[in-house]
Amino acid sequence: MVLGALVGVVAGVASTVFLLLLDLATHARETHLEIVYALPLAGIGLGFVYERWGVPIKGGSDLVIDTIHEARAQIPLRLAPMVLVGTVLTHLFGGSAGREGTAVQMGASLADAISHRLRLAPELRRLLLVAGMAGGFGSVFGTPFAGAVFGVEVLAIGRLELRGLVPAFVAAVAGDFTSRHLGIVHTPYPQIAYVPITLLLLAKLVLIGITMALAAIAFVELSHRLKALLQTWLPRLPVRMFVGGVLVVMMWQLVGDSDYLGLGVPTILRAFRDPSLPSWAFAAKIGFTAVTLAAGFLGGEVTPLFFVGATLGSVMARLTGLPIELGAGVGLAAVFAAGANAPLALSVMAVELMGLHIMPHVFVVTAVAFLLAGHRGIYVAQRVARTKYGVRVDPLKALRDYHR
């Protein structure tokens, strides 16, 4: 518990610095949109830096998950500052990315530095890495309960790392407490009104869950396949990031709207209240984010997938006659739940963000989306302990190897 609290405080401080810089970068881009034209040049610069000094950390969140499962060498401490600066610059120049990946990686690398400094036993080091992930996730979103569950759920499909629950919870609470007391104010989401459960409502929720699964499959497959394609055609990272930057700028000009750059939080909130939101907004965000991350720009997937889920959920609510705030709320959680294979954590997160009345509805939608998305995910190092159809996998296989 003491070590978990220490990791949480460190992760909370790191998340605070990250969020403050991210706000400055977002404000600078929104007030000087012409800076987006420099995204390809920023890609060349970042590409050279990461090609020269970033090879040991190129796995990102997958490196963290592999280290937890395989007791690898220490996660390089340089991971924290490099992903922080890289993600801030990605957002400054208009790349479409999230922030959870950066926070999770910073929390884990700092936790591993602490564990090696204290010469902790391998099992305790492993639990501290789980706590680092939870502390980063909980502090960057202001959702400590979801952060704790995410830390123990995301490592393997079909198995919770319950031994890490106590340090993960302590770290997530400490991280959230630290970031809030250092001045971080998180985005307030609408509180969902109570909607009685009926058989017809359940059928509509299942239908929404199916569409969220399809959206998650589209994002995962597009981003992975595009990344493999770009790596084959353009082996040099600076060239890859330059081409990706050019593609994002072209898409931005084609769409004629800056809503799909950066995090996209204003559009996420708009999905809860605006029935005139374009029905294709979710598809545009999938495209912008897949190109940004496949090219090698840094950042996470959570907030862009919140965008995808909220906007698609709003559309589905209009089609099925549900309140659009309910559709947007369950969709926000379900696409990332399916993409990250973490339905429990994202259901808890929805409750923390939008109130208790969303609880039965969001559990239905995330469960359906999780099951129908199949054995794929944004974290290819995630292990399969038991398939979604109840078959035990022994020894554990990473998603990257499971289909082979």
Same domain, 117 and 151: yes
Written as one string, the DSSP assignment of 162-209 is: GGGHHHHHHHHHHHHHHHHHTT--PPPPPPPPP----HHHHHHHHHHH
Say which CATH number the domain at 132 has: 1.10.3080.10
Q: How far is CA 183 from CA 140, 180, 287, in A?
A: 12, 5, 34
pLDDT, one tens digit per residue, over 59-102 is: 889 999 999 999 888 898 988 999 999 999 999 999 999 988 89
Same domain, 171 and 56: yes
- Interval 303-318 mean pLDDT: 97
Residue 194 lies in a domain: no
pLDDT of residue 93: 97
Is pLDDT at 128 greater than 90 in this prediction?
Answer: yes
Same domain, 213 and 87: no
**pTM for the full predicted model:** 0.95
Q: Examine the fold and report which residue of 152, 181, 210 is the final residue of a domain before the chain moves on.
A: 181
Is pLDDT at 394 greater than 90 in this prediction?
Answer: no
pLDDT, one tens digit per residue, over 9-18 is: 999 999 999 9
pLDDT of residue 72: 82
Cβ neighbours for 60, distance < 8 A, ≥ 6 positions apart: 83, 101, 105, 298
Alpha helix stretches (DSSP H) within 234-381: 237-255, 265-271, 281-295, 302-320, 324-340, 343-354, 359-372
Same domain, 58 and 155: yes
* Better-scored residue on pLDDT, 197 or 58: 197
Same domain, 257 and 222: yes
Q: Residue 252 in contact with residue 95, Cβ under 8 Å?
A: no
Q: Examine the fold and report which residue of 181, 214, 237 is the final residue of a domain before the chain moves on.
A: 181
pLDDT, one tens digit per residue, over 15-54 is: 999 999 999 999 999 999 999 999 999 999 999 999 988 8
Same domain, 158 and 208: no
Domain count within the chain: 2
| % residues pLDDT > 90 (the chain) | 90
- Interval 286-294 mean pLDDT: 97
Same domain, 177 and 66: yes
pLDDT, one tens digit per residue, over 138-171 is: 999 999 999 999 999 999 999 999 999 999 999 9
Same domain, 252 and 116: no
- Interval 269-290 mean pLDDT: 96
Residue ranges making up the domain that contains 147: 2-181
Residue 123 lies in a domain: yes
Same domain, 117 and 25: yes
pLDDT of residue 30: 95
Same domain, 117 and 257: no
Q: Residue 21 in contact with residue 112, Cβ under 8 Å?
A: no
